[in-house]
Amino acid sequence: MVFAALLLTNCSSISKTSETKPSSNLKDAFKDDFLIGTAVNVDQIKEANPQLAQLEIAHFNAVTPENIMKAEVLQPEKGRYNFEMADQLVDLAKRRNMVVNAHALIWHSQLPRFVRQMKEADSVKKFFNDHITTVASRYKDKVYSWDVVNEALNEDGTMRKSIFLDKMGEGFVVEAFKLAQAVSPKTKLYYNDYNIEQPKKRAGAIRLIKQIQAAGVRIDGVGIQGHWNVNNIPFKDIEESILEFSALGVDVMFTELDVSVLPNPFDSNTADVGARAEYNAKMNPYAASLPDSVQKKLADGYESLVKLFVKHKDKIGRITLWGVSDADSWLNDWPVRGRTNYPLLFDRELKPKAAFHQLINIKNNVSSNQGTNHVQLK
Ligand code: XIL
């Protein structure tokens, strides 16, 4: 400790100039804070666009597969597994020195047809056991973490209706973690959901985490997805959630961050992939381009969010954006198909947006304003 403190004090006088030198890559800028991740689709895993691949390599040290590790892809038919893309992702991440957050073992959505059609509880339990055991053991030393259960809760904190709740009861969550832990003892195990920063749903997530812990089963972290709207980022709820979740002894992560700038067709925020609304021109106001005022608002929203994350960096393990460029965001087609959204840090030409620059600047200001104080906090 003393030695480290001395070292830092010494460095501070010599390296003032180098410390204030801007770091233009996200992963380097935030290297003392948390991992910076992105979601990747099939084309990105195949490195179809070299320029996009370069951005991924430059800015991110963590990766989450957007779709290819979901059950409908990994086990399209009963007992027939397809690991091709997942294996490619693991290789890619290894080459690039990125950690993989595998997403997701148990989720009510994007299930294979044979599971959706199941009527018997025994069949569902067998799928549940076989899928978790087979998939988690295959990737046990290859992925850093798993979203073991995704989206098990309703907005009011009760359990969401799903084939797993229906056939196995509320205990399916604990059971999933137990099975994953048994075959993959070194992999970090997470619960992941949207809107769990909201007080009622947060209480549900806290209940689930406590159930897992009370059963003597390991849970390492909780992922707040972070699909928000630029007009309504719930900063206070987010901060309270960081504190309350981390008080349970788990790592907090923001796992699918994107900030929509388009009108929300619903009364409240949701990221339910099953929620759909009809297209009309009013719902797509920025089809040609994004006004500067909205671009600025988006950038300010991102800046305030990430400043809040940095404030609590000791509790936060990873921030993952749900994609790299606006062109590839799922928010162009959800919840309304065919819109032009601008939720990420890079534009459709793969140029960094104002939001990107403001995030990088957070760190430049921090290091020039706080000097060694910032370093010592680590
Ligand atoms: C989305 C993908 O981005 C889309 O490509 C896909 O069509 C549907 O799923 N919460 C999650 C993610 O946990 O898996 C979802 O990803 C977005 C909401």
The per-residue pLDDT for 365 is 72
**Residues 42-67 pLDDT 10s:** 999 999 999 999 999 999 999 999 99
Q: Where are the domains of the chain?
A: 39-370
| Residue 23: per-residue pLDDT | 82
| pLDDT, tens digit, 9 for 90 and up, residues 296-316 | 999 999 999 999 999 999 999
Report pTM. Answer: 0.92
Architecture per CATH, domain 39-370, reads as Alpha-Beta Barrel (3.20)
pLDDT of residue 20: 55
Task: Confirm or reject: Cβ of 66 under 6 Å from ligand 1.
Answer: yes
For residue 315, the 8-state DSSP code is: G
Ligand 1 contact, 198 CB (< 6 A): no
Q: Is 72 in the pocket of ligand 1 (CB under 6 A)?
A: no
- What is the per-residue DSSP string for 104-143? EEEESSS--HHHHT---HHHHHHHHHHHHHHHHHHTTTT-
Nearest-angstrom CA–CA distance, 319 and 363: 15
Q: Please say if the pLDDT value at position 246 is more than 70.
A: yes
- Of ligand 1's atoms, which has the minimum distance to the CA of residue 41? 5
pLDDT at 372 over 60: no
- Crossing angle of the two packed helices 199-214 and 235-246, in degrees rounded to 10: 10
Active site residues: 151, 256
Nearest CA to ligand 1 atom 12: 66
Output the furthest CA–CA distance in the chain (Å, rounded).
Answer: 70
Q: Is the CB of 177 under 6 A from ligand 1?
A: no
pLDDT in tens, 350-368: 999 999 999 999 998 743 3
pLDDT at 334 over 70: yes
Mean pLDDT of the region 142-149? 98
From atom 18 of ligand 1, which residue's Cα is the shortest distance away? 271
